[in-house]
Amino acid sequence: MRAEVIACLERLESLSESWAELVAEMDRPDLYDTWEWVISCLTRFHGKAAEPFVIAVFDGDRCVGIAPLHRVNERHGGMIVRTLQWITYGLAMYGGFCLHGGRNEAEVLGKMADALVACRDEWDLLKLANVNSSRNATFLVRKLLADRFSLYAEEADYVPYLNLVKDYPGKINGKERKDIERRERNLLRERRVRIELDRPFSADVWERALELHLAKWPDSLLHDPRYRGFCRQLYEDLSDRGQLGMSYLEIDGRIEAVNVCHFMNRKVYGKLTAYSPEYARYGLGLILLNRLLCHYRDKGMEEFDFEGGTQPFKFYWTDTVRKNFNYYVCNNNAKRTFLRLWCALVLKRSLAIRARKLAWRSRLRALRTRRVPIVSPKVARVPAKPLRDG
């Protein structure tokens, strides 16, 4: 096996067919592993400023592994840090290595780690964000990189999901489901309602979804026009390939609830949920999502991924979660001491934030069972120390 670092867009584009073949032979590929998603992030979002640093591993002429990285210059504490990170960083819920399902993962990842050592003069910090626990490589790469560099790790986020084959309708009981159905009957009786499920991309539905979403979430990335334009263009392409569905609930001729999903390999990704607060008493979000989960189950989908975040509606349906991890790898160069200190500070801050999120989630769960009053949780201490290897 041999590893090649690809830093040229033309060479990378010549790898498109091999990339698609590799994803088809992965054990559990995500939509975010596909060539179409990665190249869209690189060319449409990062644009001319993009510096590819893709590590491809070949066995003969066959591509058996890809690390889809690019290099950016970041400023930390007045110092310029050459950082390697996923091409999809900030544009996808998961980041990860594309590894052939029939090959020795440790051997392929070892070749990638060796390539990082061979190119150690070209980078300072390797930031692997949102590596999901569903893959063996998540923990294997941690060991391989820690043997060569200083590595820091943290739990980044919980990712709730629902097995549509075994667990639908999730953790809601019969009484709660009947309550959703009762609300829907009341809505249908009192208003002129139309519900459309799993439709192709529509500019009108997208604009209304944005309007509802941005009004509710002032810190959403979709407030950024550049990110918003990127999503629209990408979603149109996904719709053309049959990998996107828009569902909406219309009241008296106006869309009041929207759900946008992606899908691949019998897995549904819930990307965007928005509804009008004007009709909160009907529970529009619950009505639409209940219809949608049932629709995808009947369509043969196996899993609904709510993606990251601790929004209450996600844990209304399920308590089954996976974990995302962030790995920070410091190169063994002159900036090593500074970067190790920076990593320690980042982890300390993120642990405090995570503790607050966990406290809110515990409060919401307790409220659901009516065991505690509504009070704002106070975090007295960080619940765990940062994990460190190397």
| Mean predicted confidence (pLDDT) in 199-222 | 94
Q: Are residues 363 and 293 in the same domain?
A: no
Q: Which domain holds residue 229?
A: 165-301
Overall domain count for the chain: 2
Q: Are residues 8 and 145 in the same domain?
A: yes
Q: Are residues 41 and 119 in the same domain?
A: yes
DSSP state at residue 201: P
**Reported pTM:** 0.85
Does the pLDDT value for residue 362 go beyond 50? yes
| Mean predicted confidence (pLDDT) in 353-382 | 51
Partners of 136 in the beta sheet? Answer: none
Q: Are residues 119 and 255 in the same domain?
A: no
Q: What is the CATH number of the domain that holds 212?
A: 3.40.630.30
Q: What is the pLDDT of residues 180-191, one digit of tens each?
A: 999 999 999 999
H-type helices in 217-264, by residue range? 225-240
Binned at pLDDT 50, 70 and 90, residue 363 comes out as low
| Mean predicted confidence (pLDDT) in 302-310 | 88
Cα(15)–Cα(106) distance, integer angstroms:
23
Contact 347, 150 (CB under 8 A): no
Q: Are residues 135 and 206 in the same domain?
A: no
Query: Residue 171 domain-assigned?
Result: yes
Q: Are residues 93 and 53 in the same domain?
A: yes
Percent of the chain with pLDDT over 70: 89
Does the pLDDT value for residue 262 go beyond 70? yes
Contact 239, 260 (CB under 8 A): no
Q: Are residues 350 and 380 in the same domain?
A: yes
Report the chain's mean pLDDT, rounded to a whole number: 88
Contacting residues for 243 by C-beta, under 8 A, at least 6 apart: 31, 262, 263, 264
Query: Residue 308 domain-assigned?
Result: no
The residue ranking higher by pLDDT, 242 or 375, is: 242
Write down the pLDDT at residue 377.
40
Q: Are residues 276 and 188 in the same domain?
A: yes
Q: Are residues 235 and 342 in the same domain?
A: no
248: phi then psi, degrees, rounded to nearest 5: -150, 160
CA nearest neighbour of 204 among 230, 232, 223, 234:
232
Cα(25)–Cα(16) distance, integer angstroms:
14
| Mean predicted confidence (pLDDT) in 109-121 | 95
Does the pLDDT value for residue 175 go beyond 90? no
Cα distances (Å, whole numbers) of residue 372 to 313, 356, 357, 368: 19, 17, 17, 9
Cα(105)–Cα(34) distance, integer angstroms:
19
Cα(194)–Cα(204) distance, integer angstroms:
16
Q: Are residues 205 and 117 in the same domain?
A: no
